[in-house]
Amino acid sequence: MSRTSLPATLKLGFLGAGQLARMSALEAFRFGIQVAVFSDRTENEPVQFMTPYSTSGSFDSVDDMVEFAKGCDVITLENEFISSDILKEVRDKSGTPIYPSPETFALIENKLIEKQTFEDAGIPVTPYSLIKDELDLKDFGEEHGWPYLLKSSKGGYDGYGNETVKNLESAKEAFDNLGGNAGQDIIAEAFVDFTNELAVQVARNETGIAVYPCCETVQEDHICVAVLSPAPVDSHFQERAQELAVKAMEAIDAKGIIAFEFFLTEDGEILLNESAPRPHNSGHYTIEGAVASQFENHVRAVLDLPLGSTKLNKPAVAMINLLGTHKRPAETDHIKEALETENGHLHVYGKIDSKVGRKMAHYTLLGDNLEETYKTAMHVTRNIEI
């Protein structure tokens, strides 16, 4: 099943045109592969500046996407905004394969099903429950303690679609805000006392499986601000997270790249928190940090190419997310120090408009000592404004 040939006309289609598709597209180009992009916005999406094959339409319209898919050899995802049912229809009507497959995505698109899938595979997950009504809200608080998290079972990311609830009153309000009274499935999730948030990216196809080192994601207000690799935790925790990620990958029979996020609890347990069927912010550091990046292995995986090595190029890698600091036309300012730093690599996503907190760029620094590398990376990017 391994592809041994790259025809010059091979075209990889992305559903979604943001920075994840953009960085994947750069790797597709490296292999001489053409890139087409389907966006739900008409213009100014990051990948739209990088290809003549740009189409706009609705992520809810099978017809729009079928038309697009017919012009591509393989379709892949960069977000979780299209339901697996629609993806199945697009694939079946266009005849173009989609990876990760709609069947894989169906097992993780809904947070409830995701947790059940991984639990069934013997992977520890954070305590959760489907919430139907006020009684469920109350019961969950009594069993697992307040505060806890309420999550819409679909579509949440970067803290959107999540609310922390402190008591029954705020829980009822959040349940309503998240669409619980309008038919949206809502799940409650216990707060876990964790010491670290970890992540592992895994690429897989018929040729094999490639597991990245276990990294730590540093979060502020549910937004990832930095990633450190390898994670500064005992190596047996790293290995445990990698093992669970492989197990999870097999549980959903994934082809492509999937990112798994974990909690390392105060009791030394590793719990699977979330998964994403695409390159992930936690893996941006692999562009320079690993021999083959998550984006390269994304492309390799969905095109049936042998997977590349996930080994680190240096003992320590720190990645700093550069979030929007202003609401203005995008402009990355005060980059001199970052660019002058040896082994530092700046990536700007090509978004036209900046908003406060929006993921606009990132900076990766390679070094020999993790603490020092992280410190330097923070220091040389401290004045950057976007």
Bind-site residues: 111, 151, 189-192, 197, 273-274
Q: Which two tokens stand for residue 226?
A: 């930095």
| Cα–Cα distance, 53 to 347 (Å, whole number) | 23
Cβ atoms of residues 217 and 227 within 8 Å: yes
Tell which residue, 237, 218, 234, 238, has the closest CA to residue 226. 218
Give the residue with the Cβ less far from a second copy, 181 or 313.
313
Span 101-160, contacts to a second copy by CB under 8 A: none
Does 347 participate in binding a second copy (rule CB under 8 A)? yes
Does 351 participate in binding a second copy (rule CB under 8 A)? yes
Q: Out of 58, 235, 313, 369, which residue is the one contacting a second copy (CB under 8 A)?
A: 313
The one-letter code for the residue type at 43 is E
Contact region with a second copy (CB under 8 A), list: 106-114, 147-155, 237-245, 306-314: 306-314
Span 41-80, contacts to a second copy by CB under 8 A: 48-52, 54
Q: Out of 61, 181, 235, 309, which residue is the one contacting a second copy (CB under 8 A)?
A: 309
Length of the chain in terms of residues written: 386
Give the residue with the Cβ less far from a second copy, 170 or 343.
343
Burial, 146: exposed, middle or buried (Cβ in 10 Å; 0-12, 13-18, 19+)? middle
| Cα–Cα distance, 290 to 287 (Å, whole number) | 6
Q: How far is the CB of 343 from a second copy (least distance, A)?
A: 6
Q: Which two tokens stand for residue 371?
A: 């603490």
Phi, psi of 231 (to 5 degrees): -55, 135
Give the residue with the Cβ less far from a second copy, 309 or 369.
309
Does 356 participate in binding a second copy (rule CB under 8 A)? no
Give the residue with the Cβ less far from a second copy, 151 or 351.
351
Phi, psi of 334 (to 5 degrees): 60, 50
Give the residue with the Cβ less far from a second copy, 83 or 297.
297
Does 332 participate in binding a second copy (rule CB under 8 A)? yes
Q: How far is the CB of 89 from a second copy (least distance, A)?
A: 29
Does 281 participate in binding a second copy (rule CB under 8 A)? no
Total residues contacting a second copy by CB under 8 A comes to 50
Does 361 participate in binding a second copy (rule CB under 8 A)? yes
| Cα–Cα distance, 231 to 214 (Å, whole number) | 6
Q: How far is the CB of 74 from a second copy (least distance, A)?
A: 16
Phi, psi of 6 (to 5 degrees): -120, 95
Give the residue with the Cβ less far from a second copy, 34 or 101.
34
Burial, 89: exposed, middle or buried (Cβ in 10 Å; 0-12, 13-18, 19+)? middle
Give the residue with the Cβ less far from a second copy, 187 or 305.
305
Does 166 participate in binding a second copy (rule CB under 8 A)? no
Mark out the alpha helices in 121-274 (DSSP H runs). 134-144, 168-177, 235-251
Q: How far is the CB of 321 from a second copy (least distance, A)?
A: 15
| Cα–Cα distance, 163 to 341 (Å, whole number) | 39
Contact region with a second copy (CB under 8 A), list: 23-31, 122-130, 156-164, 181-189: 23-31
Give the residue with the Cβ less far from a second copy, 6 or 356.
6
Strands 328-329 and 353-354: antiparallel
| Cα dihedral 285, 83, 355, 175 sign | negative
Q: Out of 2, 61, 181, 369, which residue is the one contacting a second copy (CB under 8 A)?
A: 2
Tell which residue, 255, 237, 173, 168, has the closest CA to residue 200. 237
Pick out the residues of the known binding site for ATP. Answer: 111, 151, 189-192, 197, 273-274
Q: Can you give the binding site for a second copy, defined by CB under 8 A?
A: 2, 4-9, 22, 26, 29-35, 48-52, 54, 291, 300, 305-306, 308-309, 311, 313, 329-336, 339-340, 342-343, 346-352, 361
